Structure 1
Amino acid sequence: MNKKHLILALSFAFIGATSLTSCDSKKENKAEEVQEQKEDVIEAQREGDTSEVREEQKELDSARKDYREAVADSVKDAHK
């Protein structure tokens, strides 16, 4: 019975650690995407093409929204 409880506890610990790592990874990926889009906006501004700046800004806004949603999801998952 004692071994069974130990194995069960280790299984839950592993599953918990794995799920937390995957949530952090998702946030990190979204954060990297935001940074890349921000760099694209800056590059378009340097080139002076206003239509390209608008397009890149839309993509940046979308990436920021995705990042906020990923953070909100990870907070919800952490409180379950």
Structure 2
Amino acid sequence: MKSKQFILAVGFAFLSATSLMSCDSKKENKAEEVQDQKEDVIEAQNEGDTAKVMEEQSELDSARKDYREAVRDSVKSANN
């Protein structure tokens, strides 16, 4: 009986750790996306293309929103 409990405990610990890591990974991916979009905005500004700057800024705003939602979700998951 003790070995069964030990195996279950190790399995639960493994699943908990991997789920926490996947949340962080999602957050990190969104952060990288924001950085990429920010670089695109700067590049468009350097080119002087106003329409492209506005388009890239819109994409950056969307990426920032997605990042904030991912952070909020990871905080909720950690608190539950």
TM-score range, shorter chain: over 0.9
Does residue 45 of structure 2 align to residue 79 of structure 1? Answer: no
Residue of structure 1 in register with 2:56 after alignment: 56
Report the CA distance between 1:11 and its aligned residue: 0.8
What is the one-letter code of the residue matched to 2:61?
A: D
What is the TM-score of this pair, normalised by structure 2? Answer: 0.98
Residue of structure 1 in register with 2:20 after alignment: 20
What is the TM-score of this pair, normalised by structure 1? Answer: 0.98
What is the one-letter code of the residue matched to 1:52?
A: K
Compute the RMSD of aligned alpha carbons. Answer: 0.5
In structure 1, C-alpha distance between the alignment counterparts of 2:77 and 2:12, rounded to whole Å: 15
In structure 2, C-alpha distance between the alignment counterparts of 1:18 and 1:46, rounded to whole Å: 42
In structure 2, C-alpha distance between the alignment counterparts of 1:71 and 1:51, rounded to whole Å: 31
Aligned residues: 80
Residue identity over aligned pairs, in percent, reads 76
Displacement over 3 Å in runs of 4+: none
Unaligned residue ranges in structure 1 (runs of 5+): none
